[in-house]
Structure 1
Amino acid sequence: MDEGRRTVLFRLATGKGIRSHRAFSEEYTRTANQLRSEGYEVAPCPGARQYERWLKANGVKTAPFDPSSRVLERMFQRPVGDLLRPVSEEPAAEQEVSEWPSSPPVLNESELLMTARDAASHSGEAAALRLDELTLDQLNDDLVSLSQKYGVTAPDEVFREANGLLRQVQLNLDRTRSPEQHTRLYYAAAQASALLAAVSFDLGALTPAMSFARSAAQYGKTIDYGPVQAYSYGAMAFMAFWDGRPSEAVRLAQRAQNFGGLGDTARRRLYAIEARAHGHLRADDQAHAAIRAALDQTSGRRDELHDDVAGEFGFDSARTAMSNATTCLLLRDPTGAEEFATTALDLFAARPEGEVPIAVSGPGAVDLARARIMQNEVEGAQEALVQVFLVPPSWRGSGMMERMVAARIELTHIQFRGSPTAASLAEQIEEFCALSPTRRLGAQNPLAIEA
């Protein structure tokens, strides 16, 4: 600590040889006991962190309460206000003899032992500022669990859990000085922020979703971890084309591919997102090239976030097929869209009951319905939407809602005028959309799926 940032208390404690918290605590306790025997109310010795604040100029905003001030004033024979002001503001007449005599004194063994005890005390205090590893293990387990159950948990519940975990991380960052633990905590903060970005988007809140995605990328940059930065840039790319900026989405998705340490799953996801962005630009050749690139990621490379944590961070064959179906719809290719959507739904159907992510399978069914509407198969579309109409309102996220709106728009085309089946299906879609959480939140975002 430089001279300008020291308090008078720092100078006096150093001069008395009680600079370390342990030595200060012993002297404070002795003085407090004396005052207590005289009938005064006193407070226990402050913890190491509060003591360090007292030693730093402007380290505290207000003076300690009377029970603490009384002990300090007896220890140093100064008003507490004088003790906590910077040394630079102390009148020269009040300063004691310089801490460093003109000629060095001869050291003796007792002084050496005192210095050694001070060093041991300081190192012990530093070691104490380290979290129990079990705390970090539990935090990691909670994040993995939340990611893996993301698709089968209502968005509002995911938001509450992820927000709580992020707050835990932020608090714990102030409770440890271990570089290794800081790395683990920043990684956890990146995961929690990424999940908050995903669920904010599902709830139709694009602005906070983008903010959370940027935060996740920043946390990843802090620890130089490529996969979490790639995921975050992919999320920002997805939000960009959903917000009507497909060229920016292509740029972000391609930039995400340049981060190191990515496995096949991460690259498959990024190519699928890039394909969607090209689809919004009606760039057929580039979109199909990106679809092929997504399907070609079979090298066997893995990364911890996308493959081991997985869940919301994963991107398996079913999700790839579902995304490719959406791209085909953007390119007005209903045949390709139906093929990919059917593949996705078949893969989901093969999973055990309770493990099918509604947030993904629902939109896949809507894409299949829209592909059939584009081929004038309204009854087939109605069949595809039977299970979708049973989805509870709290699960009706942005992706599902915008697909439903796009399907509804398809039903307004001239060939369906006068069709009772088309009119009935359109009415069902309108009723379904009216109860979504995105509507309750007042979301006014552009369509993700263009009609």
Structure 2
Amino acid sequence: MSEEEQATLLRKLAREAGIESYALFLPKYEQTARRLGHRNNDPKLSRETVGPRQWSRWLAAKAAPQPYARLILEELFRQPVELLMAPVGTRQMEPASSLSVVQHPHITEEDLLMTAHDAASHAGDAASLSLTPEAIQLLRTQLRGLARSYHQKPAAEIFVKARTIRDTIERRMALTHRPTQSSELYLLAGQACALLASAAFDLGSQDAAETLTMAALTYVRPIDHAPLIAWCGGNLALLAYWDGRPAEALEHVQAAQGLARSGTAKRRLHSIAARTYAHLGDPGRVRYELEAAEQADPDIRDDHHDDMGGEFGFSSERAAMSAGSSWLLIQDGASAVEASTRALDLIQMRTASQRSVKVEMEATVDLALAQLLNTDLASAVATLQPVFDLPPEQRVDGLLARLQGVRSQLTVPALHRHNEAVELGHHIEGFRRDSARSTLPGAPRYQLGS
């Protein structure tokens, strides 16, 4: 059965009318409610409205409309509710459209006055609907706090809290018709989706991370918010090269670089570009991008990478850690040791509350792999000891992928016969089985090579 055949008639008609989106459907629904309430002298019917969750449930036929809602939906779509809730094709549709003028033999003066009254009433309501500045500022503060505490909390906790904020933003969107407030809410919704994308990646779902990044772009492209668009482009590049699509990653990062203005944004994108070129096996471009990342001016700021900051920022230690990863990809062990050591030194200069466990542990694993490239097994074993103390909820996907690189390096001829290499390999396998992903109910554990 095709997707079209499985869809409800309600969804099909709403889609054809261009009002499947809740934001576009709500004004039509409330306008129809006022018209019916005035016609039937029923003030309660005139005030009838619907929330986004209920609209979604109607579209999927997961909830039956109550009496007032039945009246409004049947007036709006010119079909009985039973047919609207049924799959497309259940019965021949009646050729009618709720959004076109209903054909009467005559249009009376009462009809003209009623239409004028509805238009004036809705215009007044639309002009008066707005949120207090404090309501929007509260959402911004909550989101900023979550982004800045990202490095201190498990990814699953971040995901749940960011989802709650995003759901609240969606509900607030229906409560204002002021363009400036709508733009602010679209930006916050995009940032919430971007934070969800980071958490989804750390929890091991690249598909969810990519979808959430695209959702963030969908929110912010209409308001042309270049900093978040650039951040999303970098994230899509990162996801692409982790998935073995470096050519696509390069397209994303080059497009994003054209939008970056702040020093933090440029440093992040040059670092991602270096990793991309490393995946493509181009040492010259790796070096060029890393040098460009170092030259980015941190005093040039923007409201996403810097003012929101946290997970959206790109600290000097994060840049150094990323540089170490790039050198590893082109098998330059000496440069990787230097960059990873610098990342760890910078982290040690932070206070305990400022340190990112994720960046510290990923830089630690990179350093161990660089030491193995230099056939220094004893140093690698010692370097990795702090990593194995991490609780499962902090064993995020980027860390586990790096450990898989260490595991693979232990099998090279120069190392694989050493007892320390065998023991370290077994330790890594056991460590990977219990991860941030495995703490989720019903989630599969890691398998070696995943």
TM-score, length basis structure 1:
0.76
2:129 maps to what in 1? 129
Give 2:263's aligned residue.
264
Larger radius of gyration: 1
CA distance in structure 2 between the aligned counterparts of 1:374 and 1:252, rounded to whole angstroms: 31
Residues 96 and 376 of structure 1: is their aligned pair in 2 closer, same or farther, counting only changes over 3 Å? Answer: closer
Q: Residue in 2 aligned with 1:225?
A: 225
Displacement of 1:418: 2.9
Q: Which residue of 1 aligns with 2:167?
A: 167
In the other structure, the counterpart of 2:154 is 154
CA distance in 2, matches of 1:215, 1:96: 45
Unmatched tracts of structure 2, length 5 or more: 1-16, 18-30, 51-67, 82-97
Q: Within 2, Cα distance between the matches of 1:202 and 1:181?
A: 32
**How many residues are treated as equivalent by the alignment?**
384
Q: Which amino acid aligns with 1:185?
A: L
Counting only pairs closer than 5 Å after superposition, residues 300-311 of structure 1 correspond to structure 2 as: 300-311=299-310
Cα displacement string for residues 129-174 of structure 1 (whole angstroms, at most 9, x for unaligned residues): 2122222111111110111011111011111111122222222222
Structure 1: runs of 5 or more not aligned: 6-18, 33-42, 64-83, 102-110
Aligned residue in 2 for 1:315: 314
> 2:258 aligns to what SS in structure 1?
coil
Amino acid at match of 2:147: S
Which letter maps to 1:294?
A
Deviation at 1:444, TM superposition (A): 8.4
Asked if residue 292 in structure 1 is aligned to residue 291 in structure 2, the reply is: yes
Q: Is the 8 Å Cα contact of residues 402 and 447 (structure 1) preserved in structure 2?
A: no
Cα deviation for residue 278 of structure 1 reads 0.6
Q: State the SS of the aligned residue for 2:306.
A: helix
Match of 1:280 in 2: 279
> 2:408 matched to 1:409?
yes
Distance 2:341 2:245 in 1: 29
Alignment-derived partner of residue 238 in structure 1: 238
Q: Deviations over 1:26-70 (max 9, x none)?
A: 997xx67xxxxxxxxxx845416589995995169778xxxxxxx
Equivalents in 2 of 1:234, 1:382: separation in Å? 33
Contact kept? 2:263, 2:297, Cα under 8 Å: yes
Give structure 1 regions of 4+ aligned residues with deviation exceeding 3 angstroms. 19-28, 43-46, 48-57, 59-63, 84-87, 95-101, 116-124, 437-448
**Separation in structure 1 between the aligned mates of residue 294 and residue 78 of structure 2, nearest angstrom:** 59
Higher RCO (C-alpha under 8 Å, 6+ residues apart): 1
Question: For 1:344 and 1:369, how far apart are their aligned partners in 2?
Answer: 13
- Partners of 1:169 and 1:350 lie apart in 2 by 37
Q: Which amino acid is the alignment partner of residue 278 of structure 1?
A: Y
1:412-451 equivalences in 2 (<5 Å): 412-438=411-437, 441-442=443-444
Residues 22, 249 of structure 1: CA spacing in aligned structure 2 closer, same or farther, 3 A cutoff?
Answer: closer
Q: How far apart in 1 are the matches of 2:301 and 2:293?
A: 15
The 2-side partners of 1:374 and 1:190 are apart by: 41
What RMSD over aligned residues (CA atoms) do the two structures have, in Å? 3.5
Q: In the alignment, residue 216 of structure 1 is paired with which amino acid?
A: A
1:256–1:295 Cα change, 3 Å: same
Could you say which residue in structure 2 is the equivalent of 1:75?
A: none
Q: Is the Cα–Cα contact under 8 Å of residues 334 and 375 in structure 1 kept in the other structure?
A: yes
